[in-house]
Amino acid sequence: MESHDRGGQHDRSRENGRDTRSRLRELALQLFAEQGYEKTSLREIAERLGVTKAALYYYFRSKEDIVRSLVEDYFAEIDELIGWGRTQPRTAQTRAEIVSRYLDIVANGTEVFRMLQQNQAAVSSLASAKERGELFHERLEALIGLLTEPGDSLRDQIRAACCIMSVSLGCMQYQHRVQDPAELRAALMEVALELVDASPAKLAR
């Protein structure tokens, strides 16, 4: 019985730790976006959340660690999508599903990249900045590979790249300009699917 109680306490402690880490990241992202990366201190993040600076250090040693954590989670979702796509048949339906899932990932991660864009001068000097560019390029290449066939022309590869970038930039540019997220999603899907010959009309034929 005592062993069972200790196990339950350990599980609750782990859940509380994940919750604290998640709240730290959310608050940091909000403050970075509102007042700037350079003007936000770890002390302020800790005070706003109601934890000690030592407690914050347990999860993140620096602001750069927080930014790296946010970006790594985003790339992990894309890696999962790429892994799934590589197990699927190369059909128009698969391309449509890849675009749809990628759009969901981008829509959920837009605030992170909006913050990076707003604080470009500050975060571009971080050690992880070059790494982010390389990681995105690698994943862009992988997604283009999933949306094209071996031996496809340069034009087809460019269309696939434009498909991915239209989703990313479209979300960034218009997410806060439209009242209905479903309207934006439908418009982005229509444009992106036309670029990789996976529009509803194409599938119907």
Greater model confidence, 61 or 17: 61
Cα dist. 46→21, 51, 66, 122, 126 in Å?
A: 11, 5, 13, 21, 22
* Lowest-confidence segment of 84-88, 163-167, 200-204 by average pLDDT: 200-204
d(CA 121, CA 43): 22
User: What's the confidence (pLDDT) of residue 70?
Assistant: 86
User: What's the confidence (pLDDT) of residue 142?
Assistant: 96
160-194 residues labelled b (16+ CB within 10 A) or e (exposed): bbbbbebbbebbeeebeeeeeeeebbeebbeebbb
User: What's the confidence (pLDDT) of residue 12?
Assistant: 47
Instruction: Name the pLDDT band for 7 (thresholds 50, 70, 90).
Output: low
Output DSSP code: residue 197. T
Q: Cβ(62)–Cβ(42) under 8 Å?
A: yes
Residue 77 in this model has a pLDDT that exceeds 90:
yes
Select the CATH number that applies to the domain covering 63-204 from these four: 1.10.357.10, 1.10.8.80, 3.20.20.70, 2.120.10.30. Answer: 1.10.357.10
Highest mean pLDDT among 13-17, 19-23, 97-101, 174-178: 97-101
Highest mean pLDDT among 12-21, 56-65, 180-189: 180-189
User: What's the confidence (pLDDT) of residue 125?
Assistant: 65
Instruction: Name the pLDDT band for 116 (thresholds 50, 70, 90).
Output: confident
Instruction: Name the pLDDT band for 121 (thresholds 50, 70, 90).
Output: confident
What's the chain's average pLDDT? Answer: 86
As assigned by CATH, the class of the 1-61 domain is mainly alpha
Domain boundaries, the chain: 1-61, 63-204
Q: What is the pLDDT of residues 165-189, one digit of tens each?
A: 999 999 988 988 888 999 999 999 9
